[in-house]
Structure 1
Amino acid sequence: MAAPINYRHLYYFWVVAKEGGMARAAARLDMAVQTVSAQVRALEQSLGYALFRPAGRGMALTEAGVAAMAQADQIFQLGEQLPALVREAATGQGLRLAVGMSDGLPKLVVRHLLQPVVDETGVRLLCHEDEFDRLLGDLALHRLDAVLSDRAAPPNPNLRLYSHPLGEAPLAWFAPAALAKKCTKDFPACLADMPVLLPTGHAAVRPRLDQWFERQGLRPHVAGEFEDSALLATFGRSGMGAFPASRWSREELLADKGLRLLGDTPELVEHFYLISAERRIQHPLLQKLLAPTGSASAARRGS
């Protein structure tokens, strides 16, 4: 059985790697350079591998050092979160839920998906929007409790991630009232006679939209493409063009007197997932998000 890691030695190594040298690390730690160097050497001896190599006038991580740094980063970043988590628990500030949102996910849908926890009292909800792959990395490092996305986590033997279906919603098409009034054709043929706004390839539904246009024999004039679905709807409301939106967004969009519903496309469906770093969800708020779908027991592994 291997000897347990000395976390003080690991911390000194981490600071040296972060600062890029022994002298800068010693200054940050307010210690002698020789002391810091001795602590790093002790870690190297316990692991059996060199973690640094000379690089010009400075030093660089070896391959073993890169692997050690990845683990140290995770360990000490989690440690930095500890005081806030303890304070929240001790002061009764309620449960904290950090959720990543894929940048291709419609914002009105996000609100719908998160409504079960928003209705809870004492919840502190932290929402982060980023690219899908970056969010999965943060989830694997436990910087996030879950990721909401319009696609399941791809197979990856290095990331133990699990995709839990949250539901699905068909798309409908909306248009500014002025454009809708000018159209003389029925839906969906009318889309050929007006500018159209579409999500970019960041959205999982974009390829299905392109295929749908082909099946309908339509060659739309694409006036704009947007990564942010809320921005897409904003430009659509301003009169720029017709646009697709989830059924879960219908009520809010139809409340805008300047918009008209062109038609439904039940064959065009968006799928939504909650991605976690564990198969059995332990966080009570995540359990609440999954409860309506019963998907916690039907998690599909994304690796």
Structure 2
Amino acid sequence: MPDLNYHHLRYFRAVAHEGNLTRAAGRLNLAPSALSAQIRALEDRLGHALFERRGRQLVLTEAGRIALAHADVISAAAEDLLATLRDTGRAQTILRVGSLATLSRNFQLTFLRPALGRPDVEVVLRSGGMAELLRALETLDLDVVLTSEPPATGSAGGFVVHRLAEEPVSLIGRPALLAGRATLAERLAAAPLILPTPESGLRAGFEALRERLGIRLQIAAEVDDMAMMRLLAREGVGLAVLPPIVVRDELASGELLEAERLPGLVQPFHAVTVPRRFPNPLLRELLGAAGVGAATQPRRGPLPSG
């Protein structure tokens, strides 16, 4: 049997994403009849109808959805090949970084600093939920995902988790909220608190500390975004449970104070990659600058839902 034709897949992707043969033909600069023939040729090769017509729209069949998932991966791999090997093997100069939308901006800046401001480097930053970022990583649309929560174990797709740093966690707030002498238990019991949401690993560690201290809390806010926790602390809403790196500038200026470190609590930061034959050389440089050597951990697990 003949091999799959890459052009057939490209034409199929255009129609699938447009949902309309005429619009896709215009985008490809082809006659609609010629494009239709290319789609029929692909369907004959695969042995399945890829579309069904609903009014003026072309809707993917089940076989079409499967084909599109594979065609998108093939297209991304082809683009990655061109980007990596263009100009006779010149090193790739684009670094595509995804970061969890709730991740500390100061931590991201620290990790990326060796690549910033270089005339031979372009950094593309994309933030979002964990599931969408990991999908982009699997299709090679991203080189790395920065996160405070590693992927779950047990997935069909393999991820390599690099532990970049482990930051202490402190009780942080405006000077007025930290006036006077008090023990940690007294501060936690008396002050309104800005806490991570219950789903986070950091919150689980904090709850264990609360149980050990035997105190009840006054919760002012539960937030899944470190940047928002930082703003609420600056507004004096309460004392925040945060890694000091998140509010580094405010601590330096005296706008916020660090009351004390919370015993047993740390916030890990990770870089997640996928095994690649041609990894981005810029990424290797950044991981090396962060002190990452052979201590990587392959992860297999279902994509998280958000």
TM > 0.5 between the two?
A: yes
1:132 match = 130
How far residue 145 of structure 1 moved from its aligned partner, in angstroms, is 0.5
Does the residue aligned with 1:3 lie in a helix, a strand or coil? coil
Contact 1:109 1:246 in 2 (8 A): no
- Residues 122-271 of structure 1: matches in 2 within 5 Å? 122-181=120-179, 183=180, 185-201=182-198, 203-249=200-246, 251-271=248-268
Contact 1:53 1:60 in 2 (8 A): yes
1:13 match = 12
How far residue 276 of structure 1 moved from its aligned partner, in angstroms, is 0.3
1:106 aligns with 2:67: no
Contact 2:95 2:143 in 1 (8 A): yes
What do the CA deviations read for 1:131-182 (whole angstroms, capped 9, x no partner)? 111111111111111001112222353322111111211111111111111x
How far residue 280 of structure 1 moved from its aligned partner, in angstroms, is 7.5
2-structure distance, mates of 1:203, 1:88: 42
1-structure distance, mates of 2:291, 2:207: 32
How far residue 106 of structure 1 moved from its aligned partner, in angstroms, is 1.8
1:25 match = 24
Residues 8, 269 of structure 1: alpha-carbon distance in 2 compared, 3 angstrom cutoff: same
Residues 271, 101 of structure 1: alpha-carbon distance in 2 compared, 3 angstrom cutoff: same
Contact 1:253 1:259 in 2 (8 A): yes
2-structure distance, mates of 1:251, 1:28: 49
How far residue 99 of structure 1 moved from its aligned partner, in angstroms, is 0.9
Does the residue aligned with 1:297 lie in a helix, a strand or coil? coil
What do the CA deviations read for 1:208-253 (whole angstroms, capped 9, x no partner)? 2222222222222111222321221122122111112224447533
Greater alpha carbon shift after TM alignment, 209-218 vs 235-244: 209-218
1-structure distance, mates of 2:215, 2:87: 57
1-structure distance, mates of 2:119, 2:79: 26
Q: Quote the sequence identity (%).
A: 32
Residues 16, 94 of structure 1: alpha-carbon distance in 2 compared, 3 angstrom cutoff: closer
Counterpart code for 1:29: L
1:300 aligns with 2:306: no
Moved over 4 A (4+): 77-83, 85-90
Residues 138, 86 of structure 1: alpha-carbon distance in 2 compared, 3 angstrom cutoff: closer
Does the residue aligned with 1:205 lie in a helix, a strand or coil? helix
Greater alpha carbon shift after TM alignment, 262-271 vs 46-55: 46-55
2:303 match = none
Q: TM-score, normalised by structure 2?
A: 0.84
Residues 100, 256 of structure 1: alpha-carbon distance in 2 compared, 3 angstrom cutoff: same
Contact 2:145 2:273 in 1 (8 A): yes
2:304 match = none
Contact 2:102 2:227 in 1 (8 A): no
Contact 1:201 1:207 in 2 (8 A): yes
Residues 142, 156 of structure 1: alpha-carbon distance in 2 compared, 3 angstrom cutoff: farther
1-structure distance, mates of 2:210, 2:252: 28
| Structure 1 alignment gaps of length 5 or more | none
2-structure distance, mates of 1:281, 1:267: 39
Aligned length: 299
Greater alpha carbon shift after TM alignment, 279-288 vs 151-160: 279-288
RMSD in angstroms over aligned alpha carbons?
Answer: 3.0
1-structure distance, mates of 2:113, 2:172: 24
Counterpart code for 2:191: M
2:3 match = 4
1-structure distance, mates of 2:290, 2:167: 13
1-structure distance, mates of 2:22, 2:115: 48
Residues 88, 79 of structure 1: alpha-carbon distance in 2 compared, 3 angstrom cutoff: closer
2-structure distance, mates of 1:208, 1:252: 26
Greater alpha carbon shift after TM alignment, 199-208 vs 146-155: 199-208
1:50 match = 49
